[in-house]
Amino acid sequence: MKNFSIAVSGAAGQGIETVANLLAALLKHSGYHVFVTREFMSRIRGGLNSVQLRVSSKSVAAYTRHTDIAIPLKEGALAHLMKYGRIDSETIVIGEKNILQEASAINSERLIEVALSEKAKEAGGMILLNTVSAGVVAAFFDVREKSVEEHLNDLFGAKGKEIVEQNMKAYKVGHQIGANIRDRLSIDPKISVTNAVKEHLLLTGADAIGLGAIAGGCNFMASYPMSPSTGVLTFLSQHAKEFELVIDQTEDEISAMNKCLGAWYAGARAMVTTSGGGFALMTEGLSLAGMHESPMVIHLAQRPAPATGLPTRTGQEDLNHALNASHGEFPRIILAPSGPEDGFYLTQRAFNLADKFQIPVFILTDQFLMDSLYSIPPLDLEKVSVEKQFVKTKKDYRRYSLTQSGVSPRGIPGYGEGLVVVDSDEHNEQGHITEDLDFRVKMVDKRTRKKLETIRAATEPPTLIGPDNYRILVLAWGTNRHVLMEAIESLEREDVAMLHFSQVFPISETTSVYLEKAEQIASIENNAGAQFANLIFLETGYRIEEANRLLKYNGLPFAVEDVVSFLEEMM
């Protein structure tokens, strides 16, 4: 696989997002696979942020430390990249003279001094610095000028013809700079283009979760903004009128959860989107869903914690939170998408699962997924369907009738002749409060049957990627699928495979079959407590030794290089 990595670093508000988004659109439209990941501080302006754009001959969705071209746009930005090992002896650094002075240890032949600010001013002002930078990078690839004009019109057309022309001029200035560097250093990424990629979608993880909710029949969302989940709330709000959605930005997360429970009771399909601290406030409502046996869909986007933690960084620290939150015992399902495609289909499925089993279903994502930008094939809408499960009630309707499966027919108030009674107290089959302790046992057993029998039978099995005759098996969940897959591919070994989980609870019974074949079992996850490895032990009895656990919890995603080093050490 041929790939090329570009890092742009600068201050919040300086426009590095514009560089990455414009380049991703231009390169995708030209037939290149692209992937953008963001690393940023929790401030509106200032600080030091960076974006990485990977351009590849095939689909990639992982972060790498290696950088082929770096463009630091602010003093301190180059040092910021160097601190995390993202500049090496092969990196070409393009920037202002005062910025390049930070790079005394770098080969001077790879330091290209360019007065980017002056070029931006000549084109129309410092605000065009990002467009000049995009032009510099685009020169290393086969991008047609007509495509640039079309994209700039899409971006800036509403601001007037003059703004479009200024940006086009800035792009051309940058492109000439990049072409000179390309020719002088004989740089050719040698990445082939694929016509099919031109029809791909450019989506963030937040976009994909939002689209999956729409495909799942979601028509109500109540949430309070909290990074990194807010992108889903924003996306659905932007498309509310188009898809007839009711969106309520509530006063707090307690209200959001209870409003969504009320919406499901009334027949809607509802979802909350939140992060760890917000979900903590929802746990009493989650327990109410358990007692009501109400469907509920919860999108929980993880970030480093506890408390406020690192609001704009990534982590996988809330698995235990989602597993154990709320008082009492009741079943739940936890899904963990690996990327936007997975995010779309799993979110859509979450609504059907919640409706079918009358339980809370979690979509457990992370900041890495939420804020990264992916190029993916068009989504197959033939694969999705809205499966509504409520029934038309009769006069003798019993909301909690005891059934063999543990799932009782769910009625909707006003749909049929029956009375639909729910209560937060323990209740009888009709839904009325009871303190009959023998009946209490029957109700707990009914809810437990769903967990132990009905739901487990519908559990999504893990996916084996790699050779069947593996000696080493590495476990991953959520977004770590892609970094592990790329690392294993780069090793080119026939005895290493990965087992990826998009459903992390309940664990499929087929898991043990894979584990017993391995001589060594390893795992990678973004937390300090090896939460998933511990869950595997509880569910299967297989213990992953501490030496075989790769854990990262500094707020950054795994780099491909991290995982390669870990596997080489194991082998």
Helix axes 205-215, 340-357, angle to 10 degrees: 40
Q: What is the pLDDT along the chain (571 residues), one digit of tens a residue?
A: 799 999 999 998 888 988 999 999 999 999 999 999 999 998 888 889 999 999 999 999 999 999 999 999 999 999 999 999 999 888 999 999 899 887 766 667 789 999 999 999 998 999 999 999 999 999 999 999 999 999 998 888 888 889 999 999 999 999 999 999 999 999 999 999 999 999 999 999 999 999 999 999 999 999 999 999 999 999 999 999 999 999 999 999 999 999 999 999 999 999 999 999 999 999 999 999 999 999 999 999 999 999 999 999 999 999 999 999 999 999 999 999 999 999 999 999 999 999 999 999 999 999 999 999 999 999 999 999 999 999 999 999 999 999 999 999 999 999 999 999 999 999 999 999 999 999 999 999 999 998 877 888 889 999 999 999 999 999 999 999 999 999 999 999 999 999 999 999 999 999 999 999 999 999 999 999 999 999 999 999 999 999 999 999 999 999 999 999 999 998 8
Residue 418 has what DSSP assignment? S
What is the CATH classification number for the domain harbouring 330?
Answer: 3.40.50.970
Q: What's the rounded Cα separation, in Å, for the pair 568 and 475?
A: 16
Helix axes 205-215, 230-238, angle to 10 degrees: 60
Q: Within this chain, do residues 296 and 226 fall inside the same structural domain, yes or no? A: yes
CA 494 to each of CA 1, 98, 114, 468: distance values in angstroms, whole numbers, following the listed order: 18, 49, 47, 9
Which residues on neighbouring strands pair with residue 10, listed in sequence order? 49
421, 431 in Cβ contact below 8 A? yes
Show the domain range for 139. 3-199
* DSSP output for 181-233: HHHHHT--------GGGGG-EEEEHHHHHHHHHHHTT--EEEE---TTTHHHH
Q: Within this chain, do residues 162 and 282 fall inside the same structural domain, yes or no? A: no
Q: What's the rounded Cα separation, in Å, for the pair 313 and 315?
A: 7
**Per-residue pLDDT at 44:** 80
Q: Within this chain, do residues 334 and 432 fall inside the same structural domain, yes or no? A: no
All residues at 6 or more sequence positions from 141 whose CB lies less than 8 Å from its CB, including other chains: 27, 30, 32, 55, 189, 191
Q: Within this chain, do residues 483 and 529 fall inside the same structural domain, yes or no? A: yes
Number of domains in the chain: 4
405, 350 in Cβ contact below 8 A? no
Q: Within this chain, do residues 295 and 364 fall inside the same structural domain, yes or no? A: yes
Q: Within this chain, do residues 118 and 175 fall inside the same structural domain, yes or no? A: yes
**Per-residue pLDDT at 43:** 83
Q: Within this chain, do residues 432 and 468 fall inside the same structural domain, yes or no? A: no
Domain boundary residue, one of 383, 418, 438:
383
pTM higher than 0.85, yes or no?
yes
Q: Within this chain, do residues 255 and 207 fall inside the same structural domain, yes or no? A: yes
What is the CATH classification number for the domain harbouring 101?
Answer: 3.40.920.10
Q: Within this chain, do residues 297 and 310 fall inside the same structural domain, yes or no? A: yes
Q: What's the rounded Cα separation, in Å, for the pair 209 and 137?
A: 31
Q: Within this chain, do residues 310 and 252 fall inside the same structural domain, yes or no? A: yes
Q: Within this chain, do residues 155 and 191 fall inside the same structural domain, yes or no? A: yes
Which residue type sits at 121? Answer: K
Domain boundary residue, one of 163, 184, 199:
199
Domain boundary residue, one of 403, 427, 457:
457
**Per-residue pLDDT at 15:** 86
Nearest to 260 by CA among 202, 127, 250: 250
559, 532 in Cβ contact below 8 A? no
Q: Within this chain, do residues 99 and 210 fall inside the same structural domain, yes or no? A: no
Q: What's the rounded Cα separation, in Å, for the pair 214 and 219?
A: 7
What is the CATH classification number for the domain harbouring 503?
Answer: 3.40.50.920
